[in-house]
Chains A and B, each alone.
Chain A
Amino acid sequence: MLAIFAYTLKRLRSQILGWGISFGLITVYLMAIYNPMIEQQAEVVALFNAYGEVMLAFFGGGLDFLSPAGYLDFALFSYVPVIAGIFAVLIGSGLLATDEEKGRLDLLLAYPVSRSAIFWGRFLAFAAATVAILACTWLGFVAGLPLVDWDVSVLALALPHLSLLAVLLLFGAIALLLSLLLPSRTVAASVAGGLLVANYLITSLARINELLKPLDAVLPLKYYQGGSALDGLNILPFAVLLGATVLLAALAWLLFTRRDIRVSGEGSWKVPFSR
């Protein structure tokens, strides 16, 4: 499993660098503009109020965006699950399906490595890559901490990242499971990406629409804590996300260990009406 893990992580290195450096630079920038924003507090508050309730619902809803937790949520953590979710969905859906579609899995599975080792080696490499990207984001915040007058520890800064990590792992697991059920990696990534965006819209709008709350209660982003985790990570929703990740990953693992490996379209199926 170690060889599979190490090689998968190596294959992900350009993704880690690209996403990690981008997020790291963005977070330094966000810290750098915090004080100038506070200096123009009255104008900023007026501007945000002008956005209206619906618009603000997509950026964290009711948090005080001048507080450290509210600012982090408004400036990054409220919407970053959708952006970083693209990484999770693309990598999760391609963890096994890309090699299967290209025919590489056929040869890999002829080596003395169990399907379980291949599955968990790759899933853990995806998790490690996600941790590495979020570590870059966290380091950006830590580097920018001297630029703001916050009474926040570097460990506290890590807490919103933990909640984000749980969300990304969950959507990665959803994409992985779908890639084993649906006819192609592209279809799986599209469906998982659609679920992510739909979840973001529903969870955001549920802040101002009571009718959406029952649906929101069963969606992953309901349990995402965003910037508010800066004031303390609530263990229960965090555990719900991790538990769901483990459950879906275990389902995907069971499926992978039992199903036929497709080659040249054998055993696959087509989406109705697709060409």
Chain B
Amino acid sequence: MSIDLAITIHGLTKSYGRVLALRGLDLEVQRGEIFGFLGPNGAGKTTTIRCLLDMIRPDSGTLRVLGFDPQADPVAVHARAGYLPGELALEDNLNAEQQLRYFAALRGNRLDWEYVRRLAARLELDLKRPIKNLSKGNKQKVGVVQALMHQPELLLLDEPTAGLDPLLQQETLRLVQEARQQGATIFFSSHILSEVQEIADRVGIIRQGALVEVAETQTLVHRALRRVRLRLREPLATAALAAIPGVTILSASDGVSLVLQVEGEMDALIKAVAQFPVVEFETERPSLEEVFLAYYAA
């Protein structure tokens, strides 16, 4: 395994009885990057993360996390990783501080408690409130703090902003970006595409237990289909545009206002349109959501 890789997954297969959750997943995550793991519920995101932490054992395949085999040396992985589960459950009989101090004790009390207080303050978390009285969002804040409090080399976050209000979602994403600036690798699953697009360097899309795409976030967005809205001064024979490779005419009711879909480069379309008097030429890049849906519609 290259020292530049934080996570290596080869041929990972995992089934629950007759249900095949992962089908030979291959994935590599570079050290120091923010990797967004996209997929709808049941695609295999949580199963992948739980295999990385040795909570479940794969049927086949190999895993390396920060150079360690999670099955052979899970404690070494856990010592260097911070984890936020998708379904967070805490000790109801404790308050937030007692819960975090218990977690700190499990890490040998080797962490800066002032840093914990700063994290809690940034997330507006009242450490003295009993966990049983906390809302889902406030419990999620405890989850975020415990994942970050030991300043881990690797963060494995399963839906990290679930239950948080928009302002705290932004604060959490800022904390994640700061962790990366300090050298951490972040592997996070989400189906909130806007947040993945906002912070992820690269994106992996998982579908039915197999990876269907891995690319830099911006590349993925740029590579995909574009929508072009075109308004001309006089009607145009649409056949001329339809003949251009990669161009599909979505609407051209009066021959003056057209909506086109363009796959690949725009050069041929622009040259063809330049022969006509153009009033407006507008392109829309698809959101990551549209890219994502395109993979799922395929």
Q: Which residues of A contact B (CB under 8 A)?
A: 3-4, 7, 11, 102-104, 106-115, 258, 260-261, 263-264, 266-267, 269
Contacts and interface: CB of A to CB of B under 8 A. Distances in A.
B276 interface: no
Contacts of A111: 78, 103, 106-107
Contacts of B106: 3-4, 108, 111-113
Interface string B66-92: 000000001110110101010111110
Given A110-B53, A260-B57, A267-B56, A102 B102 contact: no
Contacts of A113: 75, 78, 106
B89 A102 contact: yes
Nearest to B88: A107
B50 interface: yes
A54 B35 CA distance: 72
A258 B79 CA distance: 20
Given A260-B55, A267-B16, A103 B81 contact: no
A103 B91 contact: no
**Interface-centre pick from A106, A261, A263 (highest chain B CB count, 10 A):** A106
A114 B74 CA distance: 7
B75 to A, nearest CB: 5
28 contacts: A7-B102, A7-B105, A102-B89, A103-B87, A104-B91, A106-B50, A107-B90, A109-B54, A109-B55, A109-B78, A110-B53, A110-B78, A110-B81, A110-B85, A111-B107, A112-B78, A112-B106, A113-B78, A114-B74, A261-B55, A263-B50, A263-B85, A266-B16, A266-B47, A266-B56, A267-B17, A267-B56, A269-B17
Contacts of A104: 89-91
B251 interface: no
Contact of A106 (B16, B55, B57, B107): B55
A106 B87 CA distance: 9
Contact of A112 (B46, B57, B79, B93): B79
A264 B17 CA distance: 15
The 4 closest A-B pairs by CB, nearest first: A103-B89, A110-B83, A112-B79, A260-B56
Given A107-B85, A264-B87, A3 B105 contact: yes
A92 B103 CA distance: 23
A102 B76 CA distance: 26
B146 to A, nearest CB: 8
Nearest to A265: B16
Nearest to A111: B106
Contacts of B93: 11
A3 B156 CA distance: 24
Contacts, number: 76
Interface residues of B, number: 33
Chain A at the B interface: SS class: loop
Contacts of A109: 53-55, 78
Contacts of A112: 75-76, 78-79, 106-108
Contacts of B105: 3, 7
Given A104-B89, A104-B90, A266-B16, 14 more contacts: A103-B85, A103-B87, A106-B50, A106-B55, A107-B83, A107-B85, A107-B89, A107-B146, A109-B54, A110-B78, A111-B103, A111-B106, A260-B55, A267-B56
**Interface-centre pick from A103, A104, A260 (highest chain B CB count, 10 A):** A260
Contacts of A4: 106
B97 to A, nearest CB: 15
**Interface-centre pick from A102, A108, A263 (highest chain B CB count, 10 A):** A263
Nearest to B158: A106
**Interface-centre pick from A110, A113, A260, A269 (highest chain B CB count, 10 A):** A110
Nearest to A102: B89
B255 to A, nearest CB: 55
Nearest to A261: B55
Interface string B125-162: 00000000000000000010010000000001000000
A154 to B, nearest CB: 36
Nearest to A114: B75
Contacts of A103: 85, 87-89
B188 to A, nearest CB: 15
B56 A106 contact: no
Contacts of A267: 16-17, 56
Contacts of A258: 57
A181 B17 CA distance: 15
A106 B75 contact: no
Contacts of A269: 17
Interface in B3-22: 16-17
A199 B257 CA distance: 86
A26 B163 CA distance: 50
B187 to A, nearest CB: 13
Nearest to A108: B106
